[in-house]
Amino acid sequence: MLEIQGWVLGPVATNTYLAGDLETKQAVIIDPAWDGARLAGEIRAGGWQLAAVWLTHAHFDHFGGLADLLNELDSELPEDFYVGMHPKDTPLWKVRGGAVMFGVQVKKAPRPNHDFQEGEILRLGGYDFVVHHAPGHSAGHVIFHCPEEKVLFSGDVIFNQGIGRTDLLGGSYQTLMDSIQKWVLPLPDETVIYSGHGPVTTVGDERENNPFL
């Protein structure tokens, strides 16, 4: 079974998710927003082995907990552990994800060591997630889709009744709308969307009720 847990963390209420295979006990953290030490505690308490950290994009509120998470779990991480991000968000990473602009302090974490690519398959225990490059909110934004489980981690591309803002570095409204058209709306209605902010929703709900679409 694919287990998904979520926490709302940090100064702008960002969703951090753990996705794990209950059989193999391997898990990934998607967007360690804040409180890295607490997340490490949750991982230990659940008996998970952290296989990777997947970043949807390089805004500070999606990796603010990364430094503490890695420090805390350092000796328990497997050999092939990685932190993944799309290379087009490297300029954003280099300015600490805009933290300074928002007047927020973010601890410096080691630079992600895996470059996500469009169409890449990420294996998590017995599950496959497909990476889609979905720019518009940021230039290197990616989303993670598990077709078998009908689950989508959408980051700040689409929210319950909302879409990501496009006025920050690398943002573009038209590009964001194109990404949503291309990668989100064609999915089956019952696909569950776990987004970067706000409650869980589904593709069908957003197709019907999202005022931006």
> What does the binding site for Zn ion look like in residue numbers (CB under 5 A)?
59, 61, 156, 196
Q: Which residues contact 136 (CB under 8 A, 6 or more apart)?
A: 157, 164, 166, 171, 172, 173, 174, 175, 176, 177, 178, 179, 180
Judged by beta carbon, residue 59 or residue 114, the one nearer Zn ion is: 59
* CA distances in angstroms from 37 to 34, 71, 83, 123, 165, listed in the order given: 9, 8, 17, 25, 29
Least spacing, CB of residue 29 vs Zn ion, in Å? 15
Dihedral Cα 81, 120, 193, 32, nearest 10 deg: 30
Judged by beta carbon, residue 35 or residue 156, the one nearer Zn ion is: 156
- Strand pairing of 49-54 and 82-85? parallel
Q: 151 is written with which tokens?
A: 């689950």
Judged by beta carbon, residue 127 or residue 159, the one nearer Zn ion is: 159
Q: Which helix (H) or strand (E) holds 173?
A: helix 173-179
Dihedral Cα 186, 192, 193, 197, nearest 10 deg: 160
Least spacing, CB of residue 53 vs Zn ion, in Å? 16
CA distance 111 to 128: 25
Judged by beta carbon, residue 125 or residue 171, the one nearer Zn ion is: 171
Least spacing, CB of residue 14 vs Zn ion, in Å? 5
| Identity of residue 110 | P
104 closest CA partner among 10, 204, 3, 207: 10
Judged by beta carbon, residue 165 or residue 207, the one nearer Zn ion is: 165
Least spacing, CB of residue 158 vs Zn ion, in Å? 12
Least spacing, CB of residue 208 vs Zn ion, in Å? 24
Least spacing, CB of residue 22 vs Zn ion, in Å? 28
Alpha helices in 121-171 (DSSP H): none
Judged by beta carbon, residue 73 or residue 176, the one nearer Zn ion is: 176
Using Cβ positions, the residue closest to Zn ion within the complex turns out to be: 59
